């Protein structure tokens, strides 16, 4: 069965060396071809001397503050790195992005779960239409706001974008990738608001019509025709985003919170004995980018951290489908432990206060699978400096290889977690010293999961080590593979079609 997203949710890159080699070779060729005249030799000597003195100036020994946060988990990126990715924004009408927010704020009454968070904003602040309206505060929508912050960064005037890893270009031919500025989550949410019943159908479904117009437009462009869409970037954070055109965007780079939506497709379409294996050929950690949920709780700084009274905390729905079945079992195993708090909550201000209190007063925060392998709870735990205990065998996490999750989280196999008394024993014996070390590392990665740049409408400079820049660094890592795939496609003789293959790993 197809559930709506409310049930679902209540719950740099490492090629600088090669680049440098290429640049050197090109330079060498240029110098050769332009004849080594005496002044040129003199100039080269001067340059060499200069760069050597610069090298002496900036060796680590002369720079004691070297271990800044950015170099810690991402040794290949330093603020001085001039790497970037060239991004062209596909020319979609405003009605497919910010226009959807205009529509959202114009709704007279919204009775859905979590909507009370927006009621006041709607009645007080939204009297006039803004060019860049705010994103909903409704936690069930806000958790998917990646689309808003990524576009906000790209729409920011160039002179405020020095810290952005994505460099905007205005000619598609100059771009490394094409960003598709479709607010797919908002589109789905708007349809669910006006007519939930039509959501799975094509007829009478405005979300489907929007998906269709995005695809019809893109497919008519030279950029898409040249690449088959492989160098196009879509934000699909909500598992039901772009539901009807998933097959058409399969070759593209998809920014997703996990592959939960595709597990569901598989579960329906295959009678395989191994339901955990992804059968589909549409998504993979090689082609796509796992992005963080937007955290909903405010950041607790390490200096504000107080002694924590409870061992383990969990707030959420007890009953979930599929992978979430373990929740119910865990709940029964843990609920009577004296230093464990398991509670159900509401997606409103009361629930938020409850979570802040729980996550700030507990050493560990449980992160079991829900309907999908991840949830925004993990990112709330990180902002609350509550050590995540991940019990979700299929989990995929953002910025892997840039952030080392085992430095601040505890990973437990579902089979172990379900043994009576195993989990609490396992956590109780983790010494305080180690807990402190995990928490210190976590404090350093908190900014990595931050989308919000603190500017109205998301328009303004982004934090250099924030989520938006990390997403673009991850996309940048995929460029050589994208170029290879496009070249392989192009050499195929007319009429030959090779079925999509899974890039499993």
Ligand X SMILES: *[C@@H]1O[C@H](CO)[C@@H](O)[C@H](O)[C@H]1NC(C)=O
- β-partners of residue 313 are 341, 365
Asked whether the beta carbons of 366 and 389 are under 8 A apart, the reply is: yes
Residue 63 token pair: 């720079």
Taking the least distance from each CB to ligand X, the nearer of 116 and 343 is 116
The verdict on 275 binding ligand X (CB under 6 A) reads no
The verdict on 37 binding ligand X (CB under 6 A) reads no
Task: For the CB of residue 346, give the shortest distance to ligand X in the complex, in Å.
Answer: 4
**Dmax over Cα atoms in the chain, in whole Å?**
84
The verdict on 349 binding ligand X (CB under 6 A) reads yes
Piece of 37-45, 149-157, 266-274, 409-417 that binds ligand X (CB under 6 A): 266-274
Q: In sequence order, which residues have a C-beta less than 8 Å from that of residue 432 and are 6 or more positions away? A: none
Task: For the CB of residue 394, give the shortest distance to ligand X in the complex, in Å.
Answer: 20
Asked whether the beta carbons of 312 and 363 are under 8 A apart, the reply is: yes
Whole-angstrom distance, CA of residue 302 vs CA of residue 98: 36
The verdict on 6 binding ligand X (CB under 6 A) reads no
Rounded to the nearest 10 degrees, how much is the dihedral formed by the CA atoms of 287, 234, 466, 447?
Answer: -80
Taking the least distance from each CB to ligand X, the nearer of 113 and 285 is 113
Query: How many residues form the binding site for ligand X (CB under 6 A)?
Result: 8
End-to-end CA distance of the chain: 28
Q: In sequence order, which residues have a C-beta less than 8 Å from that of residue 225 and are 6 or more positions away? A: 219
In the list 272, 309, 335, 415, the residue contacting ligand X (rule: CB under 6 A) is: 272
Site for ligand X in 241-260 (CB under 6 A): none
The verdict on 125 binding ligand X (CB under 6 A) reads no
In the list 7, 348, 354, 394, the residue contacting ligand X (rule: CB under 6 A) is: 348
The verdict on 277 binding ligand X (CB under 6 A) reads no
Piece of 136-144, 217-225, 334-342, 347-355 that binds ligand X (CB under 6 A): 347-355
The verdict on 119 binding ligand X (CB under 6 A) reads no
* 3-class SS of residue 429: coil
Task: For the CB of residue 262, give the shortest distance to ligand X in the complex, in Å.
Answer: 15
Residue 23 token pair: 């640049």
Rounded to the nearest 10 degrees, how much is the dihedral formed by the CA atoms of 454, 458, 460, 462?
Answer: 70
Residue 497 token pair: 């079609």
Piece of 70-78, 267-275, 444-452, 492-500 that binds ligand X (CB under 6 A): 267-275
Task: For the CB of residue 119, give the shortest distance to ligand X in the complex, in Å.
Answer: 10
294, 336, 337, 390 from 333: Cα distances, Å: 30, 7, 8, 16
Piece of 64-72, 171-179, 313-321, 345-353 that binds ligand X (CB under 6 A): 345-353
The verdict on 350 binding ligand X (CB under 6 A) reads yes
Q: Residue 282 gets which letter from DSSP? A: S
- β-partners of residue 393 are none
Task: For the CB of residue 340, give the shortest distance to ligand X in the complex, in Å.
Answer: 23
In the list 270, 309, 335, 415, the residue contacting ligand X (rule: CB under 6 A) is: 270
Closest CA relative to residue 2, chosen from 257, 265, 357:
265
Q: In sequence order, which residues have a C-beta less than 8 Å from that of residue 208 and are 6 or more positions away? A: 191, 201, 202, 244
The verdict on 422 binding ligand X (CB under 6 A) reads no
Task: For the CB of residue 6, give the shortest distance to ligand X in the complex, in Å.
Answer: 15
Task: For the CB of residue 350, give the shortest distance to ligand X in the complex, in Å.
Answer: 4
In sign, the C-alpha dihedral spanning 20, 25, 27, 28 is: positive
Task: For the CB of residue 124, give the shortest distance to ligand X in the complex, in Å.
Answer: 17
Taking the least distance from each CB to ligand X, the nearer of 129 and 350 is 350
Taking the least distance from each CB to ligand X, the nearer of 41 and 277 is 277
Helix (H) or strand (E) run with residue 314 in it: strand 310-315
The verdict on 105 binding ligand X (CB under 6 A) reads no
The binding site for ligand X (CB under 6 A) comprises 116, 270-272, 346, 348-350
């Amino acid at each position: 069965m197809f559930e709506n997203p409310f049930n679902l949710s209540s719950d740099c890159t490492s090629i600088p060396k090669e680049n440098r080699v290429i640049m050197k070779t090109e330079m060498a060729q240029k110098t050769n071809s332009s004849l080594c005249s005496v002044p040129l030799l003199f100039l080269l000597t001067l340059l060499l001397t200069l760069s050597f003195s610069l090298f002496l100036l900036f060796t680590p020994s002369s720079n004691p503050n070297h271990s800044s946060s950015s170099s810690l988990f991402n040794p290949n990126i330093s603020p001085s790195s001039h790497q970037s990715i060239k991004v062209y924004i596909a020319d979609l009408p405003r009605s497919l992005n910010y226009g959807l927010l205009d529509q959202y704020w114009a709704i007279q009454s919204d009775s859905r779960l979590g909507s009370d968070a927006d009621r006041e904003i709607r009645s007080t602040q939204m009297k006039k239409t803004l060019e860049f309206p705010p994103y909903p505060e409704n936690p069930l929508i806000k958790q998917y706001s990646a689309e808003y912050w990524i576009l906000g960064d790209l729409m920011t005037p160039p002179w405020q974008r020095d810290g952005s890893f994505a460099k905007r270009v205005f000619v598609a031919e100059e771009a490394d990738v094409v960003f598709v500025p479709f607010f797919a989550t908002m589109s789905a949410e708007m349809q669910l608001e006006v007519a939930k019943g039509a959501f799975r159908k094509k007829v009478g479904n405005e979300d489907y019509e929007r998906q269709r117009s995005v695809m019809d437009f893109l497919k008519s462009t030279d950029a898409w025709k040249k690449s088959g869409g492989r160098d196009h970037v879509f934000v699909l954070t909500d598992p039901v985003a772009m539901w009807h055109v998933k097959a058409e965007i399969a070759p593209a780079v998809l920014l997703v919170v996990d592959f939960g939506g595709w597990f569901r497709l598989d579960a329906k379409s295959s009678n395989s004995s191994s339901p955990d294996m992804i059968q589909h050929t549409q998504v993979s950690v090689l082609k796509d980018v796992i992005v963080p949920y937007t955290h909903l709780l405010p950041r607790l700084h390490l200096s504000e951290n107080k002694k924590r009274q409870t061992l383990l905390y969990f707030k959420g729905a007890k009953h979930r489908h599929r992978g979430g079945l373990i929740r119910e079992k865990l709940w029964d195993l843990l609920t009577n432990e004296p230093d464990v708090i398991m509670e159900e909550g509401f997606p409103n201000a009361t629930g938020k206060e409850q979570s802040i209190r729980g996550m700030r007063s507990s050493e560990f925060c449980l992160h079991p699978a829900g309907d999908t392998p991840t949830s925004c709870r993990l990112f709330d735990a990180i902002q609350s400096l509550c050590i995540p205990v991940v019990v979700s065998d299929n989990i995929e996490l953002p910025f892997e290889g840039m952030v080392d999750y085992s430095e601040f989280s505890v990973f437990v196999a579902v089979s172990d977690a379900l043994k009576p008394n195993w989990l609490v024993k396992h956590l109780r014996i983790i010494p305080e010293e180690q807990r402190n070390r995990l928490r210190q590392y976590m404090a350093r990665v908190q900014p990595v999961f931050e989308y919000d740049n603190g500017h109205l409408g998301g328009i303004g400079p982004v934090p250099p080590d924030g989520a938006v820049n990390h997403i673009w660094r991850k996309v940048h890592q995929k460029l050589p593979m994208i170029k290879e795939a496009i070249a392989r496609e192009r050499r195929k003789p007319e009429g030959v079609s090779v079925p999509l293959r899974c890039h499993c790993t």
